[in-house]
Every structure is written in C-alpha cells, then in structure tokens.
Amino acid sequence: MITTNYLIIGSGVAGLTFAIKIADRFPDKKVTIVTKSNADESNTKYAQGGIAIVTDETEDSYQKHIEDTLICGDGLCDVEVVKMVVTEGPKRLKELIAWGAKFDKTAKGNFDLGKEGGHSQNRVVHHKDQTGHEIERAILDQVHQKGNITVLDHHFALDLITEDNQCLGAFVLNQKTNEIITFQSDFTLLATGGIGHLYGHTTNPIIATGDGIAMAFRANASIKDMEFIQFHPTALYNTSVGSKFLISEAVRGFGAYLRTKKGTRFMLDYDNRAELASRDIVSQSIDLELKKTGDDCVYLDCTHLDLEPFTKHFPMIYEHCKKIGIDITKNWIPVVPAQHYLCGGITVDKNGKTSIENLFACGECSRTGLHGANRLASNSLLEALVYSDKIYNYLAEAPFENVLFISSISDCKLELKPIINPDYIAKIKTELQLLMRQNAGIVRFDVDLRKAKEQLMQWQDELETIIKNNQISTELYELCNMITIGNLIVQQSIERDENCGGFLKFAPSYNCRKKIKRVT
C-alpha cells in the first residue's frame, strides 16, 4: 500500500497544474501523479488552436467572451461559472508564462491572437499550431523540478476506494509489473480527460477512454450532460478507424473556406457566420451536406491564403498535409467531422468538488457548467487552468484531517486467473465504436438509441462476468469503462427532450426544435 496526501490521476493540463501549485504550497506533503501512458501523453499535448483569453481590452472585452460562450452553449451554461472562468483567464495565462510556456507574439510585442468558430473577436492565444505540446512541455518540466511530487507513468487507475460517500484513494495497476497497488490518499483528483476512443473516429489520442468518469460513476458520483458530445468539423479525412489528425478551426479563422466536392461554399447557406459559425452548427451542416451529396468528405480550401503567414502560424498542419501529398496552395484538404470533446462529465461545484467527499475532478472529465450544450472553441484549456486553481485554493485552506484508513480495505492482489483473449476485447471494442458512431453521432434517433442501450446492457453483463473470472488488464478495464460511458451517453440522450447545441435527436412526439436553419 502507498500513502500519499494528494493522489492525482492523469497528467494533462488539469492534473499537472494542480500538482505544481499544491506541491509548492505544502512542501512537506506528498503529491503523487499516476498516469496510464507516458507522462506527457494526453489530449492536452495535441491541442492546436490555443487558449481563449481576453488579453486586449481595446477590441475585446470579458463581456464579449462571456456572451460568445453563452451563445455557443445554447442556453444551458451556468452564467456564474462562465463569468468566473472568463475573467480569471489572464491570471492563469501569466502563470503559464511564468512556468516557461511560450506564446506567439506580433512584431509589436502583443499576443498574436487567432480566431475560431463562435468567437466574435480574435482572442485565441497560441504557440503556432502546437499550443498543447508547448503547455505540456512547460508544466511537466515544472513538475519534475518539485521534490515532493512523484510521477508514476504506466500506472492505470482501476477504481476509486470509497466508504460512506468518502474517497479514500484508488486501486492502481502497475502496467509494467502487473501488480495492483492500493493508494491511500487524503484527497484525490480525477483529471483523466476525454472519451474519444469510444467513437473510433476521433481527434483524441488512444488514452481517451473515459476511465475517470466510469470510475466516478461506479462510486456513485453524479454524472451529467453526457449527451453533449462535441464533433469537430474538420478532422483530416481517411478511411481507417483511430485517431484522426486535426485541421485546427483556427485555419478557418485564418480565412479557409469549406467546400463540397463540386466546389460550393455551403456554409453560407446555413449560418451568417459561415465557416466561423460555432462547431455544432458547422458539424451538423457538413453531416447534412454529406447525406445530400453522398460524398465521403467535404474540403477545406486554403488555396487563396498567403502561404508565408500560413506556414508561420500552422507549420505542423502544413507539413502534415505536404507529407501525405496535399499541397495546400493547390489542393483542397479533405475533411470530415470526428468526435473531439465531451461537454459533460463528473458534476463539480465551483471549487471542483464532486458529490463524493475528498474527491475532486478537473478538466475534460468534469462537468462544471461552463460549456452547456456546446463548448466554445479553445475554452477547454482555459477551464482546466481556472478549475485546477480553484481546487488548489480550496484545498490550500481546507483543514487537514488525515483520513482514517478503513481496515477492511486491504491490498488487492492479482490472483492467478486466465488471461482474456485479446482478440475478444478487440472485437467488442470495434463493434462498440461502430455502435456509437451509428447510433449516438451527430444526428440521433430515439429508436436507435433504445436499441443501442439493449446491446450496451448485454455487453455490460458479459464483461462483468469476464472481469470476475479473468486477470485484470488495462485493455479489459478500458473496454468496460467505454461500455459504461456508452451507456451514460445513450441513456442521457434518451432522457433529453429538447434539441440544443451539439445535441440533435429525432423522436416521435417530442419538442424537436429544428437545429439547422438555412439562411433566408
């Protein structure tokens, strides 16, 4: 058994920034980060566009950023949370810079601000098109400098340990030795990120399997807004299942057009903001166009853009396209919508507290109320930065009562049980991804959701028996977690009775407010 004061599960922006602060504040306390892959592997590392922050109040204002966030969230945001997150942005940016993260500047020394869908102003602070990579580098570097932080990579958190609605720690699988370690912690933070691989076609890396949300659900935490899955309009089109390369929305902010195969700039028909409408509208419009034309993808046209500033802002995208034979000065980039982000998750209050004592959640796995029915572009990194600070402030003041470790929780040992056939797991995973794409995608039908629910319940029962009788492995647990998340998405989609934001369902006798409006 390992005891620690703070157990942090996940090493993206949410987990690492909390770790840095709490370790500085309490140098005599132990901070432990467990993470299931290499320490830097996370959705954070792949963030491209940047962080939405009001840095120049001559053109922009907090009020405008607040309004853009609220419009994008389509009536379901928590207004107080939106105000809090938006107004704290500049302080959090200063901290990132102090930790060594670098952001692009103009010749005059101001931040070079990008624009993305749903933003009325240029306000996205970025590091070329690799903002997440730069942030992850800087904060991981800080973490490694703290003597009281231990980072345990390739450690997969299996389940939370709870007693009387109190979190006491977690069971964690050392993926290299196959040993299950019991962690006792005073405070536990879930910072496990998104769910992309439940859909197969996703911009997320393979670590995004919804583990933290599934763990919290098994521990009876409140989970909300799981029906609000965000599909990014412009993932690079290819036919294989797996992580898809993202063509940042900032490319449209830079002036790129969306076209059908025949060349029509179709977004002009759907929204006055055209390519810079919010993500839900652009993805739903592309979906409709593809159904109308029968084409496999639409295209992003950059041929009219100035190459030199383009390559300065988007060197990675330019090079990636070039490598696969797309010269962006001559060829359009084939794109499709792909799962990108989860707006819902583990319900937290303004201090990041979950409904379980001593358990906190931060970042993409949490549901704060900021995003409502659809997240405004580049508000995710901002949310994680603001909430890790909120949790830190709350815990900096919290009385330190060492949690009594309940004697009934003993070290969990791996018994000698048969190893599950990996082909079986791979087969169910593929079927699950297809089921989610077909039944819980951009457009949903009540009847399909109900059928999907039956299949998910059947897999859940099968998997419970398998977990009991076979050796626990990362793959097996991830599959169980994804089935749990699938169930939550499908169930909450069935329950929602009005279309809004990224949620579009057709059902008999239900208030199906038409989402995609044609511009008249």
Active site residues: 279
In the set 10, 12, 15, 49, which binds ligand SIN (CB under 6 A)? 49
The answer to whether 207 contacts ligand FAD (rule: CB under 6 A) is yes
Task: Return the range that interacts with ligand SIN (CB under 6 A); candidates 67-75, 102-110, 248-256, 458-466.
Answer: 248-256
Query: In degrees, to the nearest 5, what angle opens at C-alpha 88 toward C-alphas 86 and 92?
Result: 120
| Closer CB to ligand FAD, 131 or 439, in the complex | 131
Residue of 152, 158, 178 lying closest to 170 (CA atoms): 158
| Nearest alpha-carbon partner for 395 in 10, 46, 24, 91 | 24
* 35 lies in the binding site for ligand FAD (CB under 6 A): yes
The closest of 124, 116, 149 to 22, measured between CA atoms, is: 149
Query: Which residues on neighbouring strands pair with residue 298, listed in sequence order?
Result: 335
Contact in structure between 201 and 432 (CB atoms under 8 Å):
no
| Binding of residue 378 to ligand SIN (CB under 6 A) | yes
Among ligand SIN, ligand FAD, none, partner that 53 touches (CB below 5 to 8 angstroms by kind): none
Single out the segment in contact with ligand SIN by CB under 6 A; choices: 151-159, 242-250, 261-269, 330-338.
242-250
31 backbone dihedrals φ, ψ, rounded to 5°: -115, 125
Q: Which of residues 241-260 bind ligand FAD (CB under 6 A)?
A: 246
**Rounded Cα distance, 331 and 255, in Å:** 15
Q: How far is the CB of 20 from ligand SIN (least distance, A)?
A: 23
| 249 binds, options ligand SIN, ligand FAD, none, Cβ within 5 to 8 A by partner type | ligand SIN
Work out which of 10, 253, 372, 441 binds ligand FAD, going by CB under 6 A: 10
* Closer to ligand SIN by Cβ: residue 243 or 248: 248
- The contacts of residue 68 (CB under 8 Å, 6+ apart) are 118, 119, 120, 121, 376
Q: Which of ligand FAD, ligand SIN, none does 345 bind, CB closer than 5 to 8 A by kind? A: none
Selection from 449, 429, 448 nearest residue 199 by Cα: 429
Residue 60: in which H helix or E strand, if any?
none
Site membership for ligand FAD, residue 139 (CB under 6 A): no
Annotate each residue in 102-131 with x if it binds ligand FAD (CB under 6 A) or - if it does not, as one string. -----------------------------x
Nearest to 299 by CA among 275, 323, 271: 275
**Closest to 364 in 3D by CA, of 135, 192, 493:** 192
What is the pattern of x (binds ligand FAD, CB under 6 A) and - over residues 142-181?
Answer: --------------xx------------------------
> In this complex, which beta carbon is closest to ligand SIN, that of residue 77 or of residue 472?
77
Of 125, 149, 191, 361, the one binding ligand FAD (CB under 6 A) is 191
As a whole number of Å, the end-to-end CA separation of the chain is 65
For the CB of residue 293, give the shortest distance to ligand FAD in the complex, in Å. Answer: 27
The Cα 114–Cα 75 span in angstroms is 26
**Does 266 interact with ligand FAD (rule: CB under 6 A)?**
no
- Verify binding: residue 492, ligand SIN, rule CB under 6 A: no
Helix/strand/coil for 443 = coil
Distance in angstroms (rounded) separating the CA atoms of residues 247 and 205: 15
Sign of CA dihedral 33, 379, 129, 245: positive
Look at the alpha carbons of 417, 421, 426, 431 in this order and tell me if their dihedral is positive or negative.
negative
Query: Binding ligand SIN by CB under 6 A: which of 249, 271, 275, 448?
Result: 249
Q: Residue from 377, 403, 449, 482 that binds ligand SIN (CB under 6 A)?
A: 377
Residues forming contacts to ligand FAD in the complex (CB under 6 A) are 9-15, 34-37, 41-44, 46-51, 131-132, 156-157, 191-194, 203-204, 207, 211-212, 246, 341, 363-364, 378-381, 384
